[in-house]
Amino acid sequence: MKVWDLHCDTLAELRYAVRRGQPKDFARCDLMVDMDKLTRGDYLLQCFACFVNLGEEPLNPLQACLEEIDIYEQLLAQFPRLMRVRTPEDIRALPGSGRIGAMLTVEEGGVCLDDPAVLRTLYRLGVRMMTLTWNHPNGLAHPNSVPGNADDVWPCAAVTDKGVTEQGMAFLEEMERLRMIVDVSHLSDAGFWDVVRCTTRPFAASHSNARALCGHVRNLTDEMIRAMGERGCLIGLNYCASFLDANPDRHAVESRVTDMARHARYLCDLGGEDILALGSDFDGIGGRLELTGAQDMPKLADGLLQAGFTERQVEKIFYKNAMRFFEENL
Ligand SMILES: [Zn+2]
């Protein structure tokens, strides 16, 4: 079964490894995503996020982002099997190419330094989807960040009073004009509804689950899922244990395929079966994982079939919904 994954943090891990003076060989390494694992997992496309942690990053955030874009370019140069994907034409050419698509995205709108010129330049460099925030407030918007240690605050309260800033509104307008997909994962609840109110095009939540099943604020409420269904949006199922498992002992949470299937069923029931895709969060998650990397994706396909999804529905979740969404909206 082909796979189209909306989110991984692999570029950041590769950058940290370079910074430590111990660069990794992407052909095969200890990351959750590498060429060998993408091949064994039968991937059609991986979205590679440029992730920058504003709280800990020693570099200027834009410089950190550009270093990750440079790593993406090096991967494309080193592995001809990887295919740069930026346009609907690229997407149409991908399935028959025998190659693995690689799409550039950004997780942390703060890398743009509040300057629309930087946003436009990142678009020219190939970025096709961007979250306004990660876990830190920035000049564009406020996240649903988890105060202190997430394990001690459960369930923690969503941010309902601070959303998208005036500059963030200008960014939303420019992203829609460019046809860069707005990614609402990590955004505050207030920010989510600002996006619904102030945009007209379909948007995405690249790596978020259902809050009704697991009360983490990184997940989407029923109202959000319904609104996204009505707009023709896309949601990537996240494999992070904290967003899947509702166990009140937060130190004991596990990432299980059965819980992924429960969230998948819930998201499809509420948002329609065109809404769901995959957003693994590989190389951004740890702990107890049933899916340990890209090579394990057949286990998820089996788990969804066992949970009662049809082969056709699993195909839609695995790649067809995402392929259609990006072909229509880029
Ligand atoms: Zn994330």
Please give the distance, rounded to the nearest whole angstrom, from the Cα atom of residue 97 to the centre of ligand 1: 30
In the reported structure, the alpha carbon of residue 79 is separated from the centroid of ligand 1 by a whole-number distance in angstroms of 26
Ligand 1: distance of its center to the CA of 262 in Å? 21
Query: Residue 152: what pLDDT?
Result: 55
**Euclidean distance between CA atoms 255 and 249, whole angstroms:** 14
| Gap from CA of 302 to ligand 1 centroid (Å) | 26
Q: Are 246 and 236 in contact (CB under 8 A)?
A: no
Distance CA 209, CA 264 (A): 8
**Domain map (residue ranges) of the chain:** 3-329
- Rounded distance from Cα 116 to ligand 1 centre (Å): 23
CA atoms of 178 and 37, how far apart (whole Å): 33
Residue 203: band (very low, low, confident or very high) from pLDDT cuts 50, 70, 90: very high
Distance of CA 126 from the midpoint of ligand 1 (Å): 20
CATH architecture of 3-329: Alpha-Beta Barrel (3.20)
What pLDDT shows up at residue 12?
Answer: 98
For residue 151, pLDDT beyond 70:
no
d(CA 25, CA 22): 10
Pairing mode, if any, of strands 276-278 and 234-237? Answer: parallel
Q: Is the pLDDT of residue 122 over 60?
A: yes
pTM listed for this prediction: 0.97
Res 62 pLDDT > 70: yes
Residue 208 C-alpha to ligand 1 middle, in angstroms? 8
Q: Is the pLDDT of residue 327 over 90?
A: yes
